[in-house]
Every structure is written in C-alpha cells, then in structure tokens.
Amino acid sequence: MKIEPVYTTDGMYIRDRQNRVVMLRGCNLGGDSKIPAYPPGNPLEGDVSFIGRPFPVTEADSHFARLVEWGFTFIRFVFTWEAVEHEGPGIYDEEYLSYLREILKKAEDHGITVYMDPHQDAWSRWTGGDGAPGWTLSAIGFDLSRIAESGSALTVQHEGSLYQPMCWGMNNLLYGAACMNTLFFGGNRYAPELLIEGIPVQEYLQSHYIDAMRHTARRLKDCLSIIGIGTMNEPHPGFIGLSDLRSHERITAASGAVPSAFDAMAAASGFTRRIKKFTLFGKLILPGYRELNPDRVSIFRDGFVCPWRTAGVWDVVDGQPVLLKPDFFAGVNFHEDFLKPFQRRFMDAFEKKHRHFIFFPEGVPMRPEVMWTAEDRLRDDGSLIPLVDGMHWYDGITLLRKKWNPAFSADSEEGVPVFGKRAVAESFRRQLSRQAYRIRSRNLPALLGEFGVPFDLDRGKSFKTGDYRDQEEALSLYYDAIDANLLHSTIWNYSASNTHADGDFWNTEDLSIYCAASGGGRAVRGFSRPYPMATSGIPVRLAFNTKRRECAYEWDGEPGITELYVPSHWYPEGWTVCFEPAPDGKTVVDEKPAEQRLIVSAERSGRERLIIRPLT
C-alpha cells in the first residue's frame, strides 16, 4: 500500500499537501508510557504489559478531543523497545501492537498526526530509566537483581524514600546505563571480542532494536496519522569520548555524589569505592565521601566479567582494581563517529517500506547537534531523506529545583546565571535561537521535542490551592520564546494516569499538563494560545501578548488559505481581527470562533500582518 506523505520537508520548513508552511504544535503522549500498565507500581520482576499506555481505547476519544480543543493536532507518541519486545529476543508483543493500532486509528479520526518516539532514558528501567528490555542486560551477564545493589544504578525501587527528585540523570554516569550505551553505539570499536549468540555485541543490540522498530511500523502501516519516527530519544555516549576515566564529566544533576568512570567500573565488579560529593552540577566539590557498593556486590553472574576488564582498560592487581588505560575512550567524536552512523542505519532500514516517513533524529541533550549535511542524507536515487531535528530544551533551574522564580534562571548551555524578569525572558528566547540557528543553518526544520514545567513546584503547593499561576507564567515565557523563533513544538507531557501523589509515575517527575484530580487541564492558558497552523507563504513573525490578549502574526503571503488557531478561553467575549494594512478586497477573512479558527483567503502575494484582539 503506497501512502502519500501528509507533510514534506522543504529546507527549514514543513509543508502540507496544499504546499502551505505548517507549524506543528502539540505534546508528548505520554510520560507514563515509559513504564508498564500492568502490573501497577513499576516492578522490576515478573511479566509485564504496556497495553493501556497512553490510555485505554475506551478513553481515547475524550483525550484526543481535549488535545484538539487545546490546539494540539500533533503528537510525539512515546513508546519503548521494552513494550514491543519484553518477552525475549525476537518475541514481539502482538497484542500490544494491536492495541497501539487502535489508539492511532482514533488519533486519525480526530485529525491528529503523530510521529513515533522510541523512548529511552538511561537505557532501561533496571538502570534507573526506561527503554530497553531486561534481556539486553542479561545478555552481557548482568544479574538484574543486583544492578542497583552493586551501585550501578539509582532506582526508585531500590532507594525508596531516599530517592532524590530529578536525580535519575546521574544514571548515565553509573555503570549499568554507561556500559550498555557504550556497547550499543561503540561495541565494534571498544569490545570487538564480546559476542552474544556468536554475534558482535553492537550488531546484536542494534539489530534487535531496529528490527523491533521496523516490526512496529509494519503492524501500524495503515495508520495514516503516522508521519514518521524518531531514531532514539536522548541518546547517550556512555563512556565514549571521556578524556580520562579518573575524572568526573557530564554531571547533569544539581547535587549528589558522583563516581568517576573507573569508580563505576570497579564498583560494578564488587569493589567498594569512595566517591566525591558535589553541588551546582559538579562545579563545587563538597567535603566528605559516599561509599559506592559498600556490600561488595558484583553485577555479573557467574562466568561473566566486565567487558572493559576483558578489553584491558583495568584489571585486579593484588586484590585491588587498577586502571590501566585512562584514555581508552578518548579522542573521538561521538556524534560523528558513532551516533550518525547508527541513525543513518536506522533510517535506511525503513526506506523501502516506509518511504513517506519523516525521520526525527536527536543528539545528546546540551551537546552540539549531529551535523547532518545533504551528502549524509542522500538516497541512491539522488533525493534526500527527509529529516526534522528534534532538539530538546528545559529551563534547568526550575526543572531541577522545582521552584519558579521569573527573575532568576540560568543559560544551561553556557552555564551562566541570569537575573531579572526581562533578562530571563530574553535568555529563553536566545537559548532556543542558538539551537534553532544551528539546525536551520543545515537547511533542516527544527522541532522543540521536549520542554515543560513541574507541576509539583514548591512541594506540591498548587495541589492544595488549585492555583497554577506559577506554572502558567513559566509556560507562557517558554511559548513566547518558541513563538519568537517560529518553532515546531511538543510539550512534555500529557500523562492520562497522572495523580497528585505519584505524578507521572516515573522517577518522581510531575510535568503532565493533564491531571484528573485537578479537573483535567492544568495551566491551560500557559500552553494553549493562538498560533498559525498553516500558512500560504512564509512565516515572518509571531507574538502573543498575554496581558493585552493580542496575537500579532506577519507573513510573506502567497495566494491560498492561511489558518490560525484562536482558543476561546482567551476570548470568552469573542475576538476581532485587524489587518495592517487593511485588506485590498482580494483577501477574505473568515472568523470562526465556534471552531476556534481564523481563515484568511488571499488571491495576492505580499507581506500580510494581522492582529487578533478581544472583542470590546
């Protein structure tokens, strides 16, 4: 069955079938899809099922209708490798895939388009995140029951009440996730003798991952809502590229205790290590130490050893671990040497059967993007593989501290504090502008695939008061920056199961814009606001003044129809449209408040500017 593309890429733009430039706006669905629906509580043992993530089929219409009411007609659809292939290598959960098809056909009924997001964080649930099936870890000799106990992961299940909010990113520095990511992307170079079922470890892991994604796409081939697929959420280099295995690099948590890569390796093999405490993202080392793996538990089952010990990176001398090659992983470019080849392999695997797909590759968060050139994207017939760069950005200070202060933030990329309300707003705009510029300079569209705000700010104060003005203010500033940069965007996230007590049900996060206990949407005016859905011409400027409730949109128009979303909750008394200059008679304005749409039909070319104002 040949499927015509819903959207096509055109340099830095995405166009619809009417050749209009679209602005994709929506959400991630959903944060709770990282964990099984059954059994409840995210256990790390026993049979699991992801049927019911993101929500039961019987609830799909109400959730999709709500998203469309908010102006969200585009979804980054979260699912995991584990959800598809949790029972064992090559054993796919066909009932789950049938369930996915039902959900995606419902999205199609509501006019929603999606791209499939094979999600992972810190490799897997057993290594403190989500994504890969447990058998991937078992295949290289890990005992799943010992991963956290050996100091190789921070998990809610093991830490219990001692688990520190927003610490999960530290798992990328601990052995479990770091080792698996290194083998997945760099096994051929760094562990060439490590075989699984006679197959080199990198080939084994990548082939199973890609095959599972291809099988998923085959099962969903008649879901016309799907416009494409991501290659992998927030890929991480593991140990690859570290300059010195004795040092502390890539710290993403605000505070805690961090092992060097060598400490992580030694601890995983049953040695107790004293690791340094830090604050301010590793910029300040604190007095004292924490013991990693005090009970001297090895992560490995009998008959298995650390692959880096086998590779000669370290060894045991006189009963103690000794580092032999501190620069073993140094001197390489992860994005160019490892990530890009994987992403191109992934895309090539889909090209024959899913020619209509747009691919959404991502780089490592807070690192330079993958530098895709036209030559990198060439097909055999000379055409280009369509790509949209799925950049991520968070207001890190608010996210990690779970406190909102509009007059204080930090530029996460440059590592500098920002003071003052105007300066903070400008910093958000500038941070997104830098990322978007780097992407667009390579003639690619830029999608802000993740951003958001915690709803449990100040220890859940909003849950007691029902007042979400802080979250609304934060989101408004984020969207001001998105509008200023004319970005496609999908907010993180919509979790249908969200509760005040358990948030999004993953690692204590609570960023869902939906919560039944809050009456449905939370801080809706922060994220649901006017924007151009499709433009006959080229967008030039978009700005929404929340105080005056005025939306200004400017574009270099071409003959055709331009469509804007105008939410009624911003204009309960109605709205009016003013053109500057006034239409010349060849432009017809059709206001449709009941449908939350403004339709502009033009027969001429030239600069157009309109302002939407409250009806007085």
Q: Which of 473, 440, 452 is nearest to 539 (CA)?
A: 440
71, 74, 80, 84: CA torsion to nearest 10: 120
CB 531 within 8 A of CB 549: no
Strand order of the β-sheet with 550-557 is 537-545, 550-557, 606-614, 575-579
**Candidate list 362, 450, 558, 563, residue with the active-site label:** 450
554 is catalytic: no
**H or E element, residue 210:** helix 201-219
Q: Which of 380, 377, 383 is nearest to 361 (CA)?
A: 377
Those residues whose C-beta lies under 8 Å from the C-beta of residue 503, and which sit 6 or more positions away, are 455, 456, 495, 509, 510, 511, 512
**Candidate list 234, 473, 558, 608, residue with the active-site label:** 234
CB 144 within 8 A of CB 132: no
d(CA 26, CA 463): 25
Q: How far is CA 233 from the centre of its chain?
A: 5
Beta bridge partners of 551: 544, 612
Q: In 71-200, which ranges are continuous DSSP H helix?
A: 81-85, 94-109, 134-138, 156-159, 175-190
Two tokens, residue 121: 């964080």
450 is catalytic: yes
608, 611, 615, 616: CA torsion to nearest 10: -120
Two tokens, residue 428: 């958000």
- Residue 381, burial from CB neighbour count under 10 angstroms (0-12, 13-18, 19+): exposed
Place of tokens 């605000």: 254
d(CA 99, CA 96): 5
Compute the half-sphere exposure of residue 308: CA atoms within 13 Å on the CB side of its CA. Answer: 32
Helix axes 94-109, 60-69, angle to 10 degrees: 40
**H or E element, residue 494:** strand 488-494
CB 588 within 8 A of CB 536: no
d(CA 571, CA 430): 30
CB 514 within 8 A of CB 495: yes
Active site amino acids:
234, 450
